[in-house]
Amino acid sequence: MQNALYQYIELYNANRPVVEARSSEPLNRLRTAALEALETAGRLPAKGDEGFEKTSINDMFAPDFGVNISGVNIPADIASSFRCGVPNLSTLMGVVVNDRFTPTSTLLKNLPAGVTMCSLSEAAGKHPGIVGKWYGSVANLDSPGTALNTLLAQEGVFIHVARGIRLEKALQLVSILSAPSPLAAFRRILLVAEEGAQVSVLKCDHTQEGSKQCLSSEVVEIVALNGSKVEWYDIEESNADTSRYCQVYVAQHEGAQVNLCGSTLTNGTTRNEYSLDINGDNTLSHLSGMAIGSGSQHIDNSSDLRHKASRGHSNQVFKYVLDDNATGAFEGSIEVCHGARFVEAYQSNRNILASSNARMHTKPQLLIYNDDVKCSHGATTGQLDSKALFYMQTRGIPLQQARRMLMQAFMADVINTIELEPLRDRLRHMIERRFDGCQSGCRECK
C-alpha cells in the first residue's frame, strides 16, 4: 500500500510560508500540532482499520492531486450551473469554489445584524476573539483526516449567530469543486451559535462539469452554545470522479438542539463522519442521513455520539437504497458516559439492496456506562416489499413506477427530519428524479 500521507506532509514542509501567507493566525497556530499528530499516526486510515471497514481514506488521498496552496484563481461557472435555488425557500447564499468563499451580493445586503457569514480569513481579522476561541476546539486532531485538514486548510467559511438572534432565513452554501487538473481541496467550516441563537444552514456539494479527478477534505465544526438551535442540511450531488471526506464535529451545550441531515444523491466515493459531543444537560439531537447509490458509487456514513450529560435525547436514522454495483457502509456508535442519567438515545439504519451486486455493511454499536437510560439500535438490510409491489401492480401501477414509489417512500422518514418545508419538497422532487435515472436534480433548480 502506498502511503498517501507523506506527499501532503512533504508539500507542507516545502511550502509552509506559502501555506501560512494565504491563511490567518488562528489557522496557522494549529499547524504544528497537526503535523505532530500526523507524524505520530504515520498514515491515513486504510480499509479494514477499526471504524473504516469498507472505506480507505488512504486510497482517497493517494492520487497525485494538486493542492492550490498559492490560491490561483480557478474559475467555476456558478451562475449557469449551480444557482441552486430551492423554490419557495429564500436563502442567504454564499459560494465556495474549492476552498474559497465568495458571498453573493444579496448575502452582503441582507445578512441581519448579529449574523456573520464570511471567509475564515475575514473573520480572523474582524472577530479574532471568536475564531481564536473556537477554531480547532471541537475537531479532534487524533483523527488523521482532521489533522491533515488542519495542516493544509488555508481558507474556509465562518458562520456566527450572536446571542439570542433567531435567523428566520436559511443560510446556504453552494460548494463547488472545480478541477481543471486533478485537485484536492482542504475545506473548513466553523459555525458558532451563541446562547439562544437559531440558525439553519443548507450546504449543497457539486463538482463542476468537465473537472478532473478531485477530492474534498472537509472539517466542519459546529458549536451550539446554551439554548441554541442549529440545523445543518448537507446534500451531495457530485460525480463519479469525486471523492469526499467530510468530518462534522458538534459540541452541544446545555439545552441546545441540533438537527443534522446529510444526503448523498450522486457521488464517487464518500465518507461522512459525524462526531457529537453532548456536553450539557437537556439537549435534543437529531442526526439523519440518506444515500442513493447506483453504478459504482460508494457511500460510507459513520456516527459517533457521546452523551456526556444528563437528560439528553438523541435520534439517529440512516437509510440507503443501493442499486447496480453500489456499496454502502454505516457504522454508528452511541456512548452514554458515566453520570449521564436519563438519556434517551435511538439509532436505526435501514437499507434496501435493489440489485444482487449492491453491498451494504452496517455496524450499529451501543456503549452504556450507566443506569437510567433508554437506548435502542437496529439495522436491517433487505429488498423492496414484494407484497406491496404486487398490491400496487394490481391497481394498475407499473412495476417500475411501483418500485420508485416504494424507494421514495422508504426515504420519507429521513426527509421528514428536515424542518424547512420547501427543502423537504425539493428533496422529494430530487429523489424522485434521481430514482427516475436523472443524475443531477439540482440542475433543475435553475
Residue keyed to cell 468563499 = 101
Shortest Å, Cβ 398 to another protein = 5
Question: Which phi-psi region, left, alpha or beta, contains residue 136 (left: φ > 0; alpha: ψ -120 to 50)?
Answer: left
Nearest to another protein of 74, 407 (CB atom): 407
Nearest to another protein of 129, 437 (CB atom): 437
Residue 392 grid coordinates: 400496487
Nearest to another protein of 181, 393 (CB atom): 393
Nearest to another protein of 3, 408 (CB atom): 408
Considering only residues 101 to 140 of the shown chain, the ones binding another protein according to CB under 8 A are none
Considering only residues 146 to 175 of the shown chain, the ones binding another protein according to CB under 8 A are none
Considering only residues 7 to 36 of the shown chain, the ones binding another protein according to CB under 8 A are none
**Number of chain residues interacting with another protein (CB under 8 A):** 23
HSE of 382, CA atoms in CB hemisphere, 13 A: 8
Nearest to another protein of 370, 408 (CB atom): 408
Shortest Å, Cβ 426 to another protein = 17
Shortest Å, Cβ 281 to another protein = 34
Instruction: Write the binding mask 395 to 414 for another protein: x where contact by CB under 8 A, - elsewhere.
Output: xxxxx-x---xx-xxxxxx-
CB–CB of 268/297 below 8 Å?
yes
Length of the chain: 446
Shortest Å, Cβ 350 to another protein = 11
Shortest Å, Cβ 261 to another protein = 17
Nearest to another protein of 263, 283 (CB atom): 263
Nearest to another protein of 222, 406 (CB atom): 406
Considering only residues 413 to 442 of the shown chain, the ones binding another protein according to CB under 8 A are 413
How many Å apart are CA 157 and CA 94, to the nearest integer? 9
How many Å apart are CA 395 and CA 381, to the nearest integer? 27
Shortest Å, Cβ 417 to another protein = 14
Strand order across the beta sheet in which 242-252 lies: 115-119, 157-161, 183-193, 214-224, 242-252, 269-278, 298-307, 327-336, 359-368
H or E segment and range at residue 38: helix 31-41
Task: Map residue 199 onto helix, strand or coil.
Answer: strand
Bridge partners of 322, per DSSP, are 293, 353
Considering only residues 350 to 389 of the shown chain, the ones binding another protein according to CB under 8 A are 385-388
Shortest Å, Cβ 433 to another protein = 16
Residue 383 grid coordinates: 429488498
Candidate list 106, 393, 444, 446; residue touching another protein; CB under 8 A = 393
Pairing verdict, β 298-307 and 257-266: unpaired
* Cα–Cα distance list, 430 to 283, 321, 417 (Å): 32, 14, 16
Residue numbers at the binding site for another protein (CB under 8 A): 385-388, 390-399, 401, 405-406, 408-413
